[in-house]
Structure 1
């Protein structure tokens, strides 16, 4: 029945994420039966009024050794859980709001959990548990003094307040046996103790759940940090190895540079020396034959451009051709002597 009722409320307001909203409401009302969901109009600061689901009722807190029920309301925006709920303290006629960093004069609640609301990590049940923990440290309301408008010395509605007054017999019932009266008081005290113990158990359970969630988040962060440290160490080792290799290469280059600077400039002809006289003869013969090719080429260019006449061209070409023939013949003999392919 509760599930159907919540579903009807959500349908009437048209929430963007009805499934998660329904799940969170059912979860809260399962743990805190003093909270009830209904649809009411909420007035925003700009004057706009909108139908929203509001969770109203009381939450149990333990303040300075006594138990109190604090009246609160949690307004769920139609974008829930993308946006944080709007929360208020709803004091009764006998209460006044105690302004603090968590509650303003209108009763609106301000918490880091609301400011840092994240739809993937935040939920309504955790918000209520944080309210219990926060208001157990600093009560958001105080009892009005019956004699003045000033602040009372104690928060409202202690569990054990006026217990004996409720159970004390009036003058018209003075005939009730003393033993009967004593048993009645004992029974009432026992009931109050049972309620107090149950509420204490719920509060501790909420605190434990919040601590477990915090522990899981810390463990997850620890794994991420360890992974980052390992990756950083691996990168550092690789960089150190690269630096070491580069320093070695730089040292080799410096040594080679010093060696080159210490050597005298060599003549190219002296540097090109064969391993045997035959190879030297073959090398020089080939160089001369190649130079004759170049000379014949440039003679042709001179003739084409009119620098030399035809007779001079033919005379020099015949002379160079004879020399080239002799050089080629000598190269063939040298290659045969050296056992090279002709």
Structure 2
């Protein structure tokens, strides 16, 4: 078969793909009518769709299939009602990358200056979903997120693990570190790059910013400054990466969670909850024993001080399983008898 015949075959396949996409959009419009015009998000269903279509691929790489279908799902959501996703902005932040990757270009992405603003947008209906950083593999929990999970009536409906690559970003005219006088970045990014800063930037002024993306924006006005941030932020602002991958550890991941207003879902592979206990010996051991006796694996436990009650704490716990599992339901009922307060944040899975 010659090249022209091959191209004609590709054109025919493309036309068939478009025809089938139109059929899918029409079916999604019907689903939108059945939902009463309300965007009912089912991230667990979408995860299963991505897993299923990726498993069917024989020639195309599975990650490529997932990327294409994320956009297909995003487009089909839009014909029902565009989904608004709030993230810690501005554009170019790691939160922006996560939101873009998992919710597609047909979603409306809403940048927020503070984590609390994301929770407020979701609570008041300004956003359907919020993407917030929960913990970093090197620096630990994000306390603002923990506090807001306690204060706001939201649930966790998904999570995403994101590999963090930090870069030293400068004005395009900069050719030497000797031209740099100041370094801008978020406290966590500065901590993640402490070794590089100590070795190469120890004599520079350090200026803390509210996000790495904001740090990069400073370089547009400060040619003697450098920022530590993402490749995407550098590209969006047409700046230069002086050195890539300056983080101290290659095992630098941030776990993001997706929040929505309302009660928690029952599906998924993991469940998160918050609880408080009496400040007496053995109370925490009794809580953990509820999981152990039912063979439930606890994957994370964090503590956060209780306001107005010095030296007493709230505990954030993740465990494998969901509220559809009988052993998990039984353990939760036992926990309620051993705690002052218990709230299920959600059962969910990792986004594909």
- TM-score (normalizing by structure 2): 0.17
Higher strand share: 2
Structure number with greater Rg is 1
Q: Which one scores higher on RCO, CA 8 angstroms, separation ≥ 6?
A: 2
- TM-score (normalizing by structure 1): 0.18
Higher helix share: 1
